[in-house]
Amino acid sequence: MTIPRKVFDFFRSRALALTLMLTLLLVCFIATTFLSGELAQRAVFTSLWFNALLVLLVLNVACCFFSRIQRRGWNLISTGMIIFHLSFVAIFAGTIVSSLFHYGGALRLTEGETIGLGDPNAYDKEWWGRFFNHKWMRGDVTFHKHLINYGVDGKNKGIAHEISIVDGAQEVRGVIYPTHSLKFNGFKFYFNTDGFAPLFVLYDRNGRELYGAYVPMQSFELVNDTILYTTGTKEGGPGGMDFPQIPGMPPLFRIQFTYDLPKSTKDIHNASFKIWEYNKEDHNGLRRLVFEGTAPMGGKVTFGDYALSMQEIRYWASMDVLYDPGLPVVLTSLWICFGGILLTTVARLVRKK
């Protein structure tokens, strides 16, 4: 027997198929039972050896397919099996295309803001495949309006975002909500999350406007089931931010802005400020608290030579921008795969009868 034949026989073996299925089953069991979340993802599901197992399974499936074509006559059972095996290989091919060419990013915009799709500063997080070319990210994205209780066909879709993407003469404008995305040049825009972005303005001692910025608030659920809207990060918790952020100039302070959401529409919107002196050398250490106070919307708090005020409330939205050229192949193949299983099983059952 020649070596290629031996290799082929190894890969088309039923014992290999069973061993691989059992191994995958066991690995999945261990990963989800004894490891958890990130650790399982890192140690197993995204690891090279686990993906090698999947590749081996696909090779096995492909060889079984050729072997079946050779040995069996054309009937419903074998047709179903062939469809199943081929679509399984197609799913894998789609996955490879995806992993090499995909792009994903969490794009954050404030209501009314326009930003370049390819601007890396617009993204909280980005990830892409080896062969993805950032030049494909053309056009500008605008977040027009934050919609509450958005209705579609009499159904309340909750929060939705009206956005548009423009590239020269090409334009797409629409509303994204949890079950509806927008597509533009192969990129899809998915609804993700949102929050408040009040406008804070810094004044000098004469009341002259020095700087203004929409500051995105994170929402933190407190022990008493209330929500705290403040600056900080999801991972690190509430905290301050350097302010103002003017390119080429050092910040003056580190400020934690907190927005008190009124309980009813009649109540006043308040903002709280905690201001520390800025210390470049001591960026993450303790700083001297220079001011702590609250002011209603439009009102000012004064500290030293400066004053701060919350002028208006807007929303920020974070949307997932995804590019995945292998996805249509995978999704189509899933149904074909399912059809193959259905055909084979039904044909087998009918034959038994």
Partner 1 sequence: MRMELVFFWSAVALYGVSAFSYIFGLISSKEKLFSVGMILGFLGLAGNIMAVALRWIKDGVLPFIEISESITSGVLIAMMIFLIVQVSAKRMRAIGVLVMPVAFIMLGWAGTLMKEISGQLPASLQSYWLWVHIIGASTGFGAVLVAAGTGLIFLLKDRYKTGIYDKFPDLESLDNLNYRFVAGGFIMLGLMLVSGSFWSHQVKGNYWNWDPVEVWALITWLTYGIYLHLRATFGWRGRKLAWYVLIALAVMIISYWGIPFVVENFHSGFRVAH
Which residues form the interface with partner 1 (CB under 8 A)? 14, 17-18, 21-22, 24-25, 28-29, 31-32, 36-37, 40-41, 45, 155-159, 177-179, 181, 188, 190, 193, 320, 322, 324, 327, 330-331, 334-335, 337-338, 341-342, 345, 348-349, 352
Residue type, 109: L
Shortest Å, Cβ 106 to partner 1: 12
- For residue 121, the tally of other CB atoms under 10 A from its CB is 7
CB of 41 to partner 1, least distance (A): 6
* Residue 159 tokens, joined: 């929060």
Give the nearest distance from C-beta 57 to partner 1 in angstroms. 11
- Phi/psi region, residue 54 (left: phi>0; alpha: psi -120 to 50; beta: rest), is alpha
Residue 197, Cβ density class (10 Å: 0-12 exposed, 13-18 middle, ≥19 buried)? buried
Give CA angle at 204 (202, 207), nearest 5°.
90
Residue 281 phi, psi dihedral angles, 5° rounding: -70, -30
Minimum CB–partner distance for residue 177 and partner 1 (Å): 6
- CA distances (Å), 143 to each of 100, 115, 147, 197, in order? 30, 9, 11, 13
Closer residue to partner 1, CB minimum distance, 59 or 160: 160
From the CB of 264, what's the least distance to partner 1, in Å?
19
Task: Tell me how far apart the alpha carbons of residues 231 and 209 are, in angstroms, rounded to a whole number.
Answer: 22
| Structure letter (DSSP) for residue 268 | P
User: Based on CB atoms, which residue is closest to partner 1, 199 or 341?
Assistant: 341
User: Whose Cβ is closer to partner 1: residue 3's or residue 223's?
Assistant: 223
Residue closer to partner 1 by CB (options 69, 210) is 69
Q: Which is nearer to partner 1, 80 or 240 (CB)?
A: 80
C-beta of 179 vs 264, nearer to partner 1? 179
Indicate the length of the chain as a whole number.
353
